[in-house]
Structure 1
Amino acid sequence: MSKRDYYEILGVARNASDDELKKAYRRCAMKHHPDRNPGDAAAEAAFKECKEAYEVLSDANKRRAYDQHGHAAFEHGMGGGGGAGAGYADMGDIFGDIFGNIFGGGAGPRGPRRGADIGYVMELSLEEAVCGVERQIEIPTLDACDTCSGSGSIDGKIETCATCGGRGQVRFQRGIFSMQQACPHCGGRGQTIANPCGDCHGQGRVERNKTLQVKIPAGVDTGDRIRLAGEGEAGPTGVPPGDLYVEVRVREHEIFQRDGDDLHCEVPIRISQAALGDIVRVPTLNGDAEIRLPAETQSGKLFRLRGKGVKSVRSRSEGDLYCRVVVETPVNLTTEQRELMEKFEATFSGESARRHSPRSATFLDGVKGFWDRMTS
């Protein structure tokens, strides 16, 4: 019976990222896990199929070989029918073994692995990001099994693998090449368990939701990450856990826009305030502040309040607050206000208009010149 395509098994595209592969594998593994489907032979077969697919596609060298040659990359002269994980040896292993044998060295067992890292996105308000906050989060993860204390053995007895002698790897000869691969008997761990734990099936870890307290420092911004060492997935037996990375996302604010450590906001003012000048109170993250409007302030003028921005999470320096004033056209005028506005407008005529509204006069001159050129 022909084997199914590994990408099809995991339900991902051929250009899927490592993160997409990991998420797809988790979904597939949790759906078909034997603990959730006791006595279901089809589910057990699907679980093994999904595990085999991920073991190949999560390894860059194996994935490259699979993309080029399909399942044939792990058969026909590539180590026999021991499955994808057992049959493949990458070129780094091949040349390492050749030169190791020639010069009396030899590649030793692979260095200690770690459990998988976990990513978590935390959404914050601007105030929380600026001031810092402590949050409790819950994450689904693989955690050390309590029953066997993460050993995978119900009685604590772990033996050296008889096949690889504890090295975690086995060698075989292919012509002039000496090849090296993970031991198929112990899965590369170098140890075997005589009496596996019933709760974790000898894996030393189980699926569970873990609750953590995360302290977010003041001044963080979107894209910043906080690393919690050792709070990722538990590794296989005897292997340290991965890390948890909490990535910050700051929601949009109804008043302020953030640009690094600086803040920006718009401040509406009345036409009379702009013309006569005034003192206007504006909001900051630490209470109100004042800006002094000079007479004849134009709409769009920018005022800078030093040190009223965000305190940097890295340098601890403080950003500034930039207030852009916007002259607001009055609405819902009373009869008296309308009459006053009409009298005021009547004062703008001839040279008076040019003197009191220079930008408007310049604009009208430009328009007149444009039409004269168009009609000449």
Structure 2
Amino acid sequence: MRDPYESLGVARSASQDEIKTAYRKLAKELHPDLNPGNAEVEQRFKEVSQAYGILSDTDKRKRFDAGEIDASGQETPQRGFYRNYAEAGGTSGDKYSRFTFDQDFAADEIFSDLFGGAFRRSDGEAGRGRRAQQRGADVHYSVQVSFLDAATGVRKRIQLSDGKTLDVAIPEGMENGQTLRLKGKGRLGFNGGPEGDAYLEVHIDPHAFFVRKDNDVHLEVPVTLAEALEGAQIEVPTVHGKVAMKVPARANSGTTLRLKGKGIKDRKSGLYGDQYVKLKVVLPDEPDAELVDFVAEWSEKHPYDPRRKAGLA
């Protein structure tokens, strides 16, 4: 059994604060939750914990320094047996039951500091002599999804910290930066404690032409000069697929039409937002001479100033 001072890497003259600091540092490095499946590290963690159990207790530390107990906390036969036997008033077996190393060593405060207050005793203060339970640490992940996948829902496969994979359902209507809680998918508990949770933050890629505002979707749709003048039935995309939409006659650029219920689902109410389609009148890439001549002739007969009408002139 290794000397507890050597286990913690402190001098025999170390103060109680120095011992506590050394233990905290080693416990963070060696905790089994952070080193899953590493038997060597787990054994080292037990050794460090046992060393702290002795040196953090001023009475046990004095008795160890005096040679009355060994590195495991057991009475040394040559020093402590007869005195403790007389005090116990019983058989020689009593010395082991009275002085068995208590691996709890009142470490609740230490682990509460180290692991976010989640440390608790297995059966309250009555559980003296039993190892304390600790809830596993929470873990955090992030996942990138497309605009349409976030709008309509998708399943994504993520890799956990232990190397395993998990298929996660991204629900319909997720917003950028929202977090999903995956209960019990965090790190394993300590000494039979419950598993922690996993938190998955969802990041959404911007779309080429859809823009989300709350649960509504906004979209700019180009229309031809003829469609704007005469009206037309056109096909427009939505997050749920393409739908037919009627463009009213004499529509201008900026005219906005509403497609009711074609937006994004509200995760609380279950209701869908709307899609707003803003029209943009677009001329041909290469207008021919006939169109140019017609517009010029028409403009001479029907002059108008749209900027004055808009109050910009």
TM-score (norm 2): 0.56
Counterpart position of 2:307:
360
1:296 aligns with 2:250: yes
Counterpart position of 1:103:
none
Given residue 234 of structure 1, which amino acid in structure 2 is its aligned partner?
L
CA contact (8 A) 1:230 1:244 kept: yes
Aligned-partner Cα distance in 1 for 2:142–2:199: 8
Q: 1:353 to 1:290 in 2, by over 3 A?
A: same
Given residue 205 of structure 2, which amino acid in structure 1 is its aligned partner?
R
Q: 1:25 to 1:245 in 2, by over 3 A?
A: farther
Given residue 360 of structure 1, which amino acid in structure 2 is its aligned partner?
R
Offset from partner CA, 1:245-287 (integer Å, 9 cap, x none): 1121121122311222211111001122222222222112333
1:242 aligns with 2:189: no
| 234-243 vs 316-325, which moves further | 234-243
Aligned equivalent of 1:325, options 265, 274, 279: 279
Aligned equivalent of 2:150, options 129, 136, 153: 129
Runs of 4+ in 1 over 3 A off after TM superposition: 33-36, 107-113, 360-363
Counterpart position of 1:228:
182
Counterpart position of 1:114:
135
Offset from partner CA, 1:36-80 (integer Å, 9 cap, x none): 9xxxxxxx9xxx9xxxxxxxxxxxxxxxxxxxxxxxxxxxxxxx9
Aligned equivalent of 2:290, options 320, 339, 349: 339
Equivalent residues in 2 for 1:1-376, closer than 5 Å: 113-140=134-161, 208-333=162-287, 337-349=288-300, 352-354=302-304, 357=305, 359-362=306-309, 367=313
Aligned-partner Cα distance in 2 for 1:318–1:243: 31
Q: 1:352 to 1:254 in 2, by over 3 A?
A: same
Given residue 310 of structure 1, which amino acid in structure 2 is its aligned partner?
I
Q: 1:339 to 1:35 in 2, by over 3 A?
A: farther
**SS of residue matched to 2:177:** coil
Instruction: Between the two structures, name the one with larger relative contact order (CA 8 Å, sep ≥ 6).
Output: 1
Given residue 135 of structure 1, which amino acid in structure 2 is its aligned partner?
K
Q: 1:360 to 1:353 in 2, by over 3 A?
A: farther
| Identity among equivalent pairs (%) | 31
| 117-126 vs 214-223, which moves further | 214-223
Counterpart position of 1:173:
none
Aligned-partner Cα distance in 1 for 2:150–2:184: 24
Given residue 147 of structure 2, which amino acid in structure 1 is its aligned partner?
L
Q: 1:238 to 1:268 in 2, by over 3 A?
A: same
**SS of residue matched to 2:253:** coil
Aligned-partner Cα distance in 1 for 2:268–2:277: 25
Given residue 245 of structure 1, which amino acid in structure 2 is its aligned partner?
Y
Shift of residue 361, structure 1, vs aligned partner = 4.3
CA contact (8 A) 1:264 1:323 kept: yes
* Number of aligned positions between the proteins: 217
Shift of residue 317, structure 1, vs aligned partner = 0.7
Shift of residue 291, structure 1, vs aligned partner = 2.2
CA contact (8 A) 2:133 2:191 kept: no
**SS of residue matched to 1:344:** helix
For structure 1, the residue ranges without an aligned partner over 5 or more in a row are 11-21, 37-43, 49-79, 81-85, 91-106, 141-207, 368-376
CA contact (8 A) 2:134 2:192 kept: no
Determine which structure has more spread, i.e. the larger CA radius of gyration: 2
Shift of residue 352, structure 1, vs aligned partner = 2.3
**SS of residue matched to 2:202:** strand
Q: 1:122 to 1:343 in 2, by over 3 A?
A: same
CA contact (8 A) 2:134 2:191 kept: no
Given residue 143 of structure 2, which amino acid in structure 1 is its aligned partner?
M
CA contact (8 A) 1:275 1:296 kept: yes
CA contact (8 A) 1:230 1:242 kept: yes
Given residue 179 of structure 2, which amino acid in structure 1 is its aligned partner?
R
Aligned-partner Cα distance in 2 for 1:366–1:210: 63
Question: What CA RMSD, in Å, does the superposition of the two structures yield over aligned residues?
Answer: 4.2
Shift of residue 328, structure 1, vs aligned partner = 1.3
Aligned-partner Cα distance in 2 for 1:332–1:259: 36
Counterpart position of 2:75:
none
